């Protein structure tokens, strides 16, 4: 475990993201004497007002990261900078996304080892398991990562997780590392695929099937990132509340409708929706067909049974505004 008094400097990669900024604010309160360095390819945005935080806009390249680690001594490193496939979709830029998610992650981890960082936190996603028809009722951390078998869009996400996991176990005696695989993160500061789908009235909803989903509030996820660095030992952890809710109930709570269609037409209609500008990736269609619930027992062992402050209904209502 990393003791509070040992933390002098913290690096957050991907600081322009909503979740990263929420996490930075909690870290500033938890470690009031620590200096926080936030880096991103994007600008800081309007809401990045965090005490003791230094923002650096950099290119995600080998030379930039090597200079960053040479010029600073980091105790904690948060790799929250995975570029989602909702960004850089135009032809040519997708390769940059894949290059950073896969090759960039390997570089960052090796720099953490070289410069003797005390602990590393890597944010992955439960999407790596894939929505597969023969998934167990609750997927555990040891279950295979099968998302890329069917959807090339998720190949870099799965590879990033595998690289991080292999590196973590290989170097577990030298550096403490935790990898987090959260369920669907939702909140007013998050702009991801599931948030867009839940809030939109112009997306297909299955009329003859109603799969269960797990949702975690952005604030609770930021707390996991903040508290977990102290309480979670080296390992991979699914992050999800005990509650789950059907997709139809979730949209009802938020107050969005969508249009009901038969199960067998989901894929075709989703393709039409994409042509009109609504981002609805192919892999999301399978999440509307097959349940993909994750087991949270490993996380609860260290963070406790009543860690989350927001129940699912409260979490979803925050999107309705």
Task: Dig out the tokens for 10 from the structure.
Answer: 């913290």
Instruction: State residue 70's pLDDT score.
Output: 96
With respect to residue 95, please indicate whether it lies within any of the assigned structural domains: yes
Please indicate, yes or no, if residue 44 is contained in any of the structural domains: yes
What whole-number distance in Å separates Cα of residue 89 and Cα of residue 55?
A: 26
Q: Give the pLDDT of residue 99.
A: 54
- What pLDDT does 87 receive? 45
Measured in Å, how far apart are the chain's first and last C-alpha atoms? Answer: 39
Predicted model pTM: 0.92
CA distance 230 to 30: 11
- Does residue 70 lie in a domain region? yes
Q: Is residue 1 part of a domain?
A: no
Which residue's structure tokens are 């939702």? 186
Q: Among 302, 294, 304, 303, which residue's Cα sits nearest to residue 142?
A: 294
Distance CA 254, CA 35 (A): 38
Here the CATH number for the domain that contains residue 122 is: 3.40.50.720
Low-confidence residues of the chain: pLDDT under 50: 85-93
Position 89 scores a pLDDT of 44
Residue 244 CB partners (closer than 8 Å, separation 6+): 212, 213, 214, 293, 312
Q: What is the DSSP letter of 127?
A: G
Residue 152 lies in a domain: yes
Number of domains observed in the structure of the chain: 1
Give a yes or no: residue 220 inside a domain. Answer: yes
Helix (H, G, I), strand (E, B) or coil at 297: helix
Asked if residue 274 belongs to a domain, the reply is no
Q: Where do the DSSP E strands lie in the chain?
A: 9-13, 35-40, 53-57, 76-79, 119-123, 176-182, 184-186, 204-206, 212-213, 215-217, 235-239, 245-246, 259-261
pLDDT at residue 88, as a whole number: 41
Instruction: Give the count of alpha carbons within 13 A of 116, CB side only.
Output: 1
Domain extent for 51: 7-190+214-243+293-303
Residue 259 forms part of a structural domain: no
């Amino acid at each position: 475990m990393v003791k509070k008094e040992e933390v002098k400097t913290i690096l957050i990669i991907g600081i322009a993201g909503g979740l990263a900024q929420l996490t930075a604010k909690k870290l500033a309160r938890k470690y009031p004497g620590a200096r926080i360095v936030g880096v991103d390819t994007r600008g800081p945005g309007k809401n990045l007002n965090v005490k003791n935080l230094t923002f650096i806009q950099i290119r995600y390249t080998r030379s930039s990261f090597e200079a960053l680690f040479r010029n600073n001594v980091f105790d904690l490193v948060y790799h929250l900078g995975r570029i989602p496939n909702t960004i850089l979709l135009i032809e040519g830029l997708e390769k940059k996304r894949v290059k950073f998610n896969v090759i960039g992650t390997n570089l960052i981890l090796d720099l953490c080892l070289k410069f003797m960082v005390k602990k590393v936190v890597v944010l992955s996603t439960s999407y790596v398991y894939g929505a597969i028809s023969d998934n167990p009722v609750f997927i555990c951390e040891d279950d295979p990562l099968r998302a890329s078998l069917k959807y090339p869009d998720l190949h870099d996400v799965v590879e990033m997780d595998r690289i991080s996991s292999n590196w973590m176990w290989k170097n577990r005696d030298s550096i403490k590392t935790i990898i987090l695989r959260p369920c669907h993160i939702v909140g007013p500061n998050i702009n991801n695929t599931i948030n867009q789908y839940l809030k939109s009235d112009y997306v297909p909803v299955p009329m003859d099937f109603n799969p269960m989903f797990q949702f975690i509030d952005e604030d609770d996820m930021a707390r996991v990132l903040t508290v977990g660095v102290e309480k979670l030992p080296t390992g991979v952890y699914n992050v999800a509340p005990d509650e789950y809710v059907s997709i139809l109930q979730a949209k009802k709570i938020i107050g969005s409708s969508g249009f009901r269609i038969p199960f067998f037409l989901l894929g075709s209609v989703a393709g039409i929706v994409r042509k009109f500008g609504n981002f609805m990736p192919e892999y999301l269609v399978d999440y509307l067909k097959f349940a993909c619930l994750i087991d949270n027992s490993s996380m609860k062992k260290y963070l406790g049974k009543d860690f989350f402050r927001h129940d699912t209904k409260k979490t979803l209502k925050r999107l309705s505004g």
